[in-house]
Amino acid sequence: MSGKILTVVGARPQFIKAAAVSRAIRETDGLTEVMIHTGQHFDPNMSDLFFEELAIPKPKHHLDVNGGGHGDMTGRMLMAIEPILLAERPDWVVVYGDTNSTLAGSLTAAKLHIPLAHVEAGLRSFNRRMPEEINRVVTDHLSTLHLCPTATAIANLAAEGVVKGVHHVGDVMYDATLFAMDKAETASNILTDLRLQPKRYALATVHRAENTDDPQQLREVVQFLLDHARDYPVVLPLHPRTRHAASRMGVSLDGLRVIEPIGYLDMAKLLHYAAEVYTDSGGLQKEAYFHRVPCITLRDETEWTETVANGWNRLWKGPAYLARNEITDYGSGRAAIKIAELLKH
């Protein structure tokens, strides 16, 4: 069989996952791909650079939709995606993760009766106050093909009555990590540029609405980072949302090594040689494990429960790390190949 795959991306974690799957699609006879970039992450350091470094084909359609509230952004994406799907007539629409871009792509495909494949299906934080959780649940219940990274994700879907088209493929982020570190070792000079010594610094990221929209919450997160900065430098590539929130709320970031957003190869190298990671990003929690770097999650829950159960991750207000074990659920770096084969057949 053969088919046209239409991929919808819009944010940094999706670029990384799509890079691995796009490579596999290009290497699979009979499959072609058309990509839509919604523009949700519009900073060149959070978008264009990732496409360059990860060798992702230039998107055929760039929607330039960013800013505004959740409803406003998602609505504009819906309006822009629908005519593209009608013109392209794909056999599959593929979406990734939990962003507004994911939700918009999913709703449009479902209303046009185009089969939908969700990469990273079945993850749950069980916190419906998070917009990402709503996006995941809705997308999973609209999908035809559920491409799950873990056995826990499959169990979550089964608990919601979703059992058809469910496959445990492993985690495409692991595929991407293996690809990136091969390149980053020689291509990135980030440690030299920042005058950092391996395992003598921590890496932090903060971007989720739950941490940036509430002044008290943002102050708590920043104070947590400052407390840890007493032990060694905490490097914080600053997300535009967090920069604006801190400025608006009068939250000082003095005492942290604040840098501009960086490309994926620089980020991979920073992560690989960090002593510890502090993040509210779901993707970075996993990437920390792939590099075998302990992680503290700046949230009250995580979708990646196996990283906590196996001692590589803990919640910032939760118990200490558990005993460390390897995690076999994520696969061996061939998740993207499995996904391409499922889309083909």
Query: Does pTM surpass 0.95?
Result: no
pLDDT classification of 43: cutoffs 50, 70, 90: low
- The answer on 309 and 191 residing in a single domain is yes
Residues 38 and 143 placed together within one structural domain of the fold: yes
Q: How confident is the model at residue 44 (pLDDT cuts 50, 70, 90)?
A: low
Q: Does 181 lie in the same domain as 161?
A: no
- The answer to the question of residue 326 being in a domain is no
Domain match, 140 and 235 both = no
* 67 in the same domain as 182: no
| Number of domains comprising the chain | 2
Whether residues 72 and 196 fall in one domain: no
Give me the mean pLDDT over the 5-20 stretch: 92
164 shares a domain with 28? yes
| 51-65, 116-130, 166-180: segment of lowest average pLDDT | 51-65
Q: How far apart are CA 232 and CA 277, in angstroms?
A: 12
Domain match, 69 and 108 both: yes
Question: What CATH number corresponds to the domain at position 198?
Answer: 3.40.50.2000
Q: Which of 37, 146, 207, 228 is catalytic?
A: 207
Q: Which pair of tokens denotes residue 250? A: 């009068």
User: Using one digit for the tens of pLDDT, what is the confidence trace for 309-322?
Assistant: 999 999 999 999 99
| Residue carrying structure tokens 């980053």 | 184
Q: Is the pLDDT of residue 46 over 70?
A: no
Is residue 190 included in any domain, yes or no? yes
Residue 320 domain-assigned? no
264 band by pLDDT with thresholds 50, 70 and 90? confident
pLDDT of 306 > 80? The answer is yes
Which residue in 33, 63, 34 sits closest to 47, CA to CA? 63
Residues 214-263 have pLDDT tens digits of 999 999 999 999 999 999 999 999 998 899 999 999 999 999 999 998 98
84 confidence band (pLDDT: 50, 70, 90): very high
Mean pLDDT, the chain, rounded, equals 94
Assess whether 136 and 180 both reside in one domain.
no
Q: Are residues 59 and 44 in the same domain?
A: yes
- Residue 29 falls within a domain, yes or no? yes
Task: Please give the average per-residue pLDDT across 107-120, as a whole number.
Answer: 98
Taking alpha carbons only, the member of 154, 117, 119, 103 closest to residue 20 is: 119
Share of the chain above pLDDT 90, in %: 84
Q: Judge whether residue 47 has pLDDT over 70.
A: no
Average pLDDT on 269-294 reads 95
Summarised one tens digit per residue, pLDDT across range 119-172 is 999 999 999 988 999 999 999 999 999 999 999 999 999 999 999 999 999 999
> Which residues contact residue 318 at a Cβ distance below 8 angstroms, ignoring those fewer than 6 apart?
308
Domain annotation covers residue 325:
no
Kindly state whether residue 324 falls inside one of the protein's structural domains: no
Which residue type does 5 have?
A: I
The whole-number pLDDT of residue 145 equals 98
Task: Identify the band that residue 42 occupies on the pLDDT scale cut at 50, 70 and 90.
Answer: low
- What SS3 string covers the chain? CCEEEEEEECCHHHHHHHHHHHHHHHCCCCEEEEEEECCCCCCHHHCHHHHHHCCCCCCCEECCCCCCCHHHHHHHHHHHHHHHHHHHCCCEEEEECCCHHHHHHHHHHHHCCCCEEEECCCCCCCCCCCHHHHHHHHHHHHCCEEEECCHHHHHHHHHCCCCCCEEECCCHHHHHHHHHHHHHHHHCCHHHHHCCCCCCCEEEECCCHHHHCCHHHHHHHHHHHHHHCCCCCEEEECCHHHHHHHHHHCCCCCCCEEECCCCHHHHHHHHHCCCEEEECCHHHHHHHHHCCCCEEECCCCCCCHHHHHCCCEEECCCCCCCCCCCCCCCCCCCHHHHHHHHHHC
Q: Is residue 37 part of a domain?
A: yes
Q: For residue 93, give both structure tokens.
A: 């629409």
20/165 same-domain check: yes
pLDDT of residue 2: 60
54 plus 103 within the same structural domain: yes
Domain that holds residue 261: 176-315
Dihedral pair phi/psi, residue 248, rounded to 5°: -65, -35
Question: Is 310 a member of any domain?
Answer: yes
Judge whether 291 counts as a catalytic residue: no
Residue 182's pLDDT band (cuts 50, 70, 90): confident
CA–CA separation, 263 and 267 (whole Å): 6
State residue 12's pLDDT score: 82
Q: In this model, does residue 185 exceed pLDDT 70? A: yes
Looking at residue 41, its pLDDT comes to 73
